[in-house]
Structure 1
């Protein structure tokens, strides 16, 4: 019996379409999609996240997609090449620029530290691992394997399990002083993919520079505070902190912090940074309240309450609205919570 089908028959087209669907399904099983499995280090803030938050400047594409710093996995034997570690193998070339003063730094202490990732898609995971630069590394040279202690100071193996979208690793950070870079890597299971983030950390100490004096507010608006301070001899730059979080770096003795909430109090300090990237002690604290203010008060944020997109809360005198489902994520205005009037 001849079962050949005439060209162009409806049945022949249906069989061809079914064959294509079966092939796509097989490819999905054999080669799981990782393109949506993007993520970035949220705490302590990565170099790329500070680009997105407009603390770091001139960052190229990292300002828009901190979650997309994708490279091969297997560091240090594999992964991004020397000189392109911070950019995840040249994904964002600007991130490879390396000097002691190029990037804003996150204050950090040695010892217990939570490393929190925000994962856009929490795919099956091989491991999270963390490296840190060696004592005496050169902060004014490109990052290479020789810059780092190549034994992870912290590693969590998930062996193919899927983490939560907000995944925290509790680590013990080695003793360091001054400026160091932490390399955080999330390796996806079943694919050659890793997401690579670096954090510029200031461990303090080690600098002979004195703390900047005479920190004062020179102008205040509804959403900005301008600051000035006395010059420190030998300072290559100054790091400005708001509520103990780095918000900017400047080579001058003045700085304007924008994007603030109206009618809200903020505490500022400044440290001088020497040419090797080491920070002086912090200046005295100046607390400034922005003008204006909201007349609407929302329920106080609770770490145990489940919130969904559109829910509004009040936290430390500032009103926030959830952008999507969340629980236990402290409102900051730079995460799932956005500041509202």
Structure 2
């Protein structure tokens, strides 16, 4: 009878030793603290979040389109947000002039290297924050340099201290 309590204590001790590293890692590991999306003109994820366009999971996480830096993908390489890649989904197009101001909302701020804006493979603008941590709202005025018509703008927020970026696509009609 003396062996059973000893075996239970030994098992409990071994379980505690086995779980300790998991608990330490779980309590000390923090998720990426940067999240944001373009709210105006309304990005695709903003349209999903407000119900303008019916979408999947992105409806609840417009700020979470995160992926490795250097992508040209509205979904940031994330299959969960594939709806954002569908150019035929019925996205509302915003009329703009020869330039537009893009407004980001950041729900969790993070040191920033650059903000970039593209149409196709053409970089329209880049703003260097040099590692600064931005406020809750960030705006950039971007010139379309003679480009007109219906276009898809890819806006990219490059994080300074990780290998990731946040992505947003905005459908615009550039009237010049």
TM-score range normalised by the length of the shorter chain? 0.7 to 0.9
Distance 1:91 1:158, change over 3 A: farther
Hey, what does 2:168 align to over in structure 1?
Answer: 197
Find the aligned partners of 2:95 and 2:53 in 1 and give their Cα distance: 15
The answer as to 2:45 corresponding to 1:71 is no
2:102 corresponds to which of 102, 108, 115: 115
Find the aligned partners of 1:33 and 1:174 in 2 and give their Cα distance: 39
2:116 corresponds to which of 129, 133, 158: 129
Write out the 4+ residue segments of structure 1 that deviate beyond 4 Å after TM superposition.
Answer: none
Find the aligned partners of 1:41 and 1:204 in 2 and give their Cα distance: 21
Cα offset, 1:204, TM superposition: 4.5
1:294-321 residue CA offsets vs partner (Å, 9 max, x unmatched):
xxxxxxxxxxxxxxxxxxxxxxxxxxxx
1:153-208 residue CA offsets vs partner (Å, 9 max, x unmatched):
11111121111110112222222332100000001111111110000112259xxx
Hey, what does 1:55 align to over in structure 2?
Answer: 52
Find the aligned partners of 1:204 and 1:61 in 2 and give their Cα distance: 33
Find the aligned partners of 1:114 and 1:43 in 2 and give their Cα distance: 8
1:6-52 residue CA offsets vs partner (Å, 9 max, x unmatched):
xx9xxxxxxx9xx97xx86xx76xxx741x31100012110110111
Structure 1 spans left out of the alignment, 5+ residues: 1-7, 9-15, 133-147, 206-341
User: CA RMSD of the aligned region, Å?
Assistant: 2.4
TM-score (norm. length: structure 1): 0.41
Hey, what does 1:96 align to over in structure 2?
Answer: 85
Structure with greater helix percent: 2
Q: Which has the higher contact order (CA 8 A, sep 6+)?
A: 2
Find the aligned partners of 2:85 and 2:151 in 1 and give their Cα distance: 15
TM-score (norm. length: structure 2): 0.77
The aligned length equals: 154
Structure exhibiting the larger radius of gyration computed from Cα positions: 1
Find the aligned partners of 1:160 and 1:200 in 2 and give their Cα distance: 29
The answer as to 2:173 corresponding to 1:179 is no
Find the aligned partners of 2:141 and 2:53 in 1 and give their Cα distance: 26
